Amino acid sequence: MKRLTYKTLVSEIQELPGAGRLVLPLLQVGSSPLEACVGVGDEVARGQCIGRADTPESAFLHSPLAGKVRALSRAVTHEGTSAGTVEIEGDAAGEVETLQPIQQDAAELSAETVRDRLREAGVSPLGGNGKNAEYASLRPDEEPPEILMVLCADEEPLLQTQRHVLREAPEKVIEGATLFQKAVGAKRLVFAVSGDQTNLVSGETLVVEKKYPLRHPEILMARMTGRYRLTEGRPRKDVHLINAETAMAACRAVREGRPVLEKTVTVGQEGGLSVVVRVPLGTLFSQVFENMGLKAEDGDRLFTGGPLRGVAQFDPEGPVTKGTDGLFLQKGRGVFCYEDVACIGCGQCVKVCPMKIPVNMMTRNCEFGRIEEALDYDLDSCIECGLCAYVCTSRRPLLQYIQFAKKEQHKAELARQSA
């Protein structure tokens, strides 16, 4: 098994200069697509709302630049979803248009006031590479969870984003977490931290080990509830999750009235040092690498997120979104190709699966769209950690088979409901 070598420079978060041109997908994690509320040729202020939806959980989108709207178009985001986009040209030097700061104690505020503010300021779950269905939602009709958990360590190896955010502003993370707890109505607030972070937070903590996938949201939720299998009920109902960056954004949205305009991202190149940077939303990947003096060569692979749950990108002109936690260049010689080849029955995938799924049997059915059979082999309990694909002797695209089957299952479920 190949080991990838990336080392992280532990330092301050570096502010990267934004480009004069940004592309912003009209999509937020965990909410409906947004409608553009600007037109081509419009002048926009920095911080002005440019996209919104009227569903109660949809956070708005704001312009990180003061400038002009150049185009309204469509693109596929790095999370693999097609979305409308707003392209803006201008500069990020101007004053930010803020909302009225709210100063009352969290205890004196209503959940509705906090929820409305988070929505208006664009606070949707940040990070998780857009795969955070398990993250907290601001839907007012959802039953309040027992626990709001704040993940202050990063889910995957190589990523250092959340660690750096907590180190930078622990008091804002704590304050934002308290406000988010108010918004979702959770009875308990728990900070999930690694052993060396316990002195940065106060209140109830859960110490999480470094070994992957022990910081995976589903594993953490299961650890809090003691329920690991679907048949025992999804822990999602009792534990909602946000990360340190979302908590900090919540604090700034309420206390400073500041909308979400940037994303913190771990950026690195194989063999070099990774650095944690903050960039305006909508900055193109190519621009981030150029600003850091990194250069992709023919055959190199660019991926967003971490090495196990991340997604290889076909377009270096893709934009940083609220879901982007990591951006990495992997050397071409280190890239191996997955293929639809036969399973040799070595059992490595079964051995490594944290959910004890018969992965070889389950994925054989996923591959050919036999969803009912895949469900019989526990497809529903898969947390998409990617470990099975990482160790597969035949290099079969196991995670892609699983994700394909889950999408098919979801489509079939929607069809059943509308029949």
CA distance 134 to 314: 27
* Residue 48 or 360 with smaller CB distance to ligand SF4: 360
Is residue 388 involved in binding ligand SF4 (CB under 6 A)? Answer: yes
**Minimum distance between the CB of residue 280 and ligand SF4, rounded to whole angstroms?**
33
Single out the residue of 131, 382, 397, 405 in contact with ligand SF4 (rule: CB under 6 A). Answer: 382
**Minimum distance between the CB of residue 234 and ligand SF4, rounded to whole angstroms?**
15
Would you give the distance in Å from CA 88 to the centre of its chain? 24
**Minimum distance between the CB of residue 340 and ligand SF4, rounded to whole angstroms?**
12
* Residue 69 or 398 with smaller CB distance to ligand SF4: 398
With CB under 6 A as the rule, give the number of residues binding ligand SF4: 29
* Residue 191 or 401 with smaller CB distance to ligand SF4: 401
**Minimum distance between the CB of residue 392 and ligand SF4, rounded to whole angstroms?**
3
Is residue 128 involved in binding ligand SF4 (CB under 6 A)? Answer: no
CB 218 within 8 A of CB 383: yes
Is residue 387 involved in binding ligand SF4 (CB under 6 A)? Answer: yes
* Residue 171 or 372 with smaller CB distance to ligand SF4: 372
Q: What is the 3-state secondary structure (H, E, C) of the chain?
A: CCCCCCEECCCCCEECCCCCEEEEECCCCCCCCCEECCCCCCEECCCCEEEECCCCCCCCEECCCEEEEEEEEEEECCCCCEEEEEEEEEECCCCCCCCCCCCCCHHHCCHHHHHHHHHHCCCCCCCHHHCCCCECCCCCCCCCCCEEEEECCCCCCCCCHHHHHHHHCHHHHHHHHHHHHHHHCCCEEEEEECHHHHHHCCCEEEECCCCCCCCCHHHHHHHHHCCCCHHHCCHHHCEEEEEHHHHHHHHHHHHHCCCCCEEEEEEEECCCEEEEEEEECCCEHHHHHHHCCCCCCCCCEEEECCCCCCEEECCCCCECCCCCCEEEEECHHHCCCCCCCCCCCCCHHHHHCCCCCCHHHHHHHHHCCCHHHHHHCCHHHCCCCCHHHHHCCCCCCHHHHHHHHHHHHHHHHHHHHHC
Single out the residue of 49, 50, 385, 405 in contact with ligand SF4 (rule: CB under 6 A). Answer: 385
* Residue 273 or 346 with smaller CB distance to ligand SF4: 346
* Residue 77 or 348 with smaller CB distance to ligand SF4: 348
* Residue 294 or 311 with smaller CB distance to ligand SF4: 311
Single out the residue of 295, 393, 410, 414 in contact with ligand SF4 (rule: CB under 6 A). Answer: 393
Is residue 114 involved in binding ligand SF4 (CB under 6 A)? Answer: no
Strand order of the β-sheet with 188-193 is 204-207, 188-193, 147-151, 239-243
Is residue 399 involved in binding ligand SF4 (CB under 6 A)? Answer: yes
Is residue 222 involved in binding ligand SF4 (CB under 6 A)? Answer: no
Is residue 407 involved in binding ligand SF4 (CB under 6 A)? Answer: no
CA distance 180 to 174: 10
* Residue 165 or 402 with smaller CB distance to ligand SF4: 402
**Minimum distance between the CB of residue 360 and ligand SF4, rounded to whole angstroms?**
4
Interface map 330-369 toward ligand SF4 (x if CB under 6 A): -------------xxxxxxx--xxxx-x-xx--x------
**Minimum distance between the CB of residue 324 and ligand SF4, rounded to whole angstroms?**
22
CB 72 within 8 A of CB 39: yes
**Minimum distance between the CB of residue 4 and ligand SF4, rounded to whole angstroms?**
19
The strand pair at 273-280 and 7-8 is best described as parallel
* Residue 326 or 386 with smaller CB distance to ligand SF4: 386
Is residue 166 involved in binding ligand SF4 (CB under 6 A)? Answer: no
* Residue 265 or 398 with smaller CB distance to ligand SF4: 398
Interface map 309-328 toward ligand SF4 (x if CB under 6 A): --------------------
CA distance 289 to 285: 6
CB 93 within 8 A of CB 20: no
**Minimum distance between the CB of residue 385 and ligand SF4, rounded to whole angstroms?**
4
Of the candidate spans 1-9, 41-49, 166-174, 384-392, the one that interacts with ligand SF4 by CB under 6 A turns out to be: 384-392
**Minimum distance between the CB of residue 381 and ligand SF4, rounded to whole angstroms?**
7
The contact set with ligand SF4 (CB under 6 A) reads: 343-349, 352-355, 357, 359-360, 363, 382-388, 392-394, 396, 398-399, 402
